[in-house]
């Protein structure tokens, strides 16, 4: 089974252009408490390199493209984010990295809670240890 959970969103656009709507607890699988977006990422810069203990997020590349690496401690998968009509779920305990941002990339992230540094696992070995302990 894939560790990647992608969500497809309907485009309600018409001859004027596109429109995508994300409703809380419908297209977004949680109650949104925070929204942030990453843009203007410099060449060769990668971001992320962490997992969360409790936070659930939904990431959408609303412009441009980037490559996302997801890792659940057992397998690692890559996805090319390049459509504003597709979201990727970032549930707790899913290590994620973002690479190869195009200069026009805008990565929109919806989050289930406010920013809390204590919720981050930024060390990959610690992430693997916690995953193993969780399974015992």
**Residue closer to ligand TYD (CB basis): 72 or 113:** 113
Give burial (CB, 10 Å; 0-12/13-18/19+) of 25. Answer: exposed
Binding flag, residue 115, ligand TYD (CB under 6 A): yes
Please work out the total of residues on this chain that contact ligand TYD, with binding judged by CB under 6 A. Answer: 7
Binding flag, residue 48, ligand TYD (CB under 6 A): yes
DSSP labels, 16-44: TB--B---BTTTBSS---EEEEEESPPTT
Binding flag, residue 45, ligand TYD (CB under 6 A): no
Counting every residue written for the chain, the total comes to 136
Task: Kindly state the smallest distance separating residue 19's Cβ from ligand TYD, in Å.
Answer: 26
Q: Give the residue carrying structure tokens 């540094």.
A: 117
99 as an active site residue: the answer is no
Q: Judged by CB under 6 A, which of 11, 22, 39, 47 binds ligand TYD?
A: 47
Cα separation, 133 vs 136, whole angstroms: 5
Task: Kindly state the smallest distance separating residue 58's Cβ from ligand TYD, in Å.
Answer: 14
Q: Judged by CB under 6 A, which of 36, 53, 104, 123 binds ligand TYD?
A: 36
Of the candidates 67, 74, 76, 63, the one whose C-alpha atom is nearest the C-alpha of residue 107 is 63
**What count of Cα atoms within 13 Å lies in the side-chain half-sphere of residue 64?**
17
Cα separation, 121 vs 72, whole angstroms: 13
Stretch touching ligand TYD by CB under 6 A, among 5-13, 24-32, 47-55, 60-68: 47-55
Q: For binding to ligand TYD (CB under 6 A), which residues are involved?
A: 34, 36, 38, 47-48, 50, 115
Catalytic residues: 50
């Amino acid at each position: 089974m894939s560790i990647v959970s992608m969500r497809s969103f309907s485009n309600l656009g018409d001859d004027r252009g596109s429109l995508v709507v994300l409703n809380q607890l419908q297209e977004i699988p949680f109650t949104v408490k925070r929204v942030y977006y990453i843009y203007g990422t410099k060449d060769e810069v990668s971001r992320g390199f962490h997992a969360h203990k409790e936070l659930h997020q939904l990431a959408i590349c609303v412009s441009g493209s980037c490559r996302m690496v997801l890792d659940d401690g057992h397998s690692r998968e890559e996805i090319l984010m390049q459509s504003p009509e597709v979201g990727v779920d970032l549930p707790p305990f899913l290590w994620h990295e973002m690479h190869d941002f195009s200069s026009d990339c805008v990565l929109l992230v919806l989050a289930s809670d406010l920013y809390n540094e204590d919720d981050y696992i930024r060390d990959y070995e610690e992430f693997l240890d916690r995953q193993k302990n969780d399974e015992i």
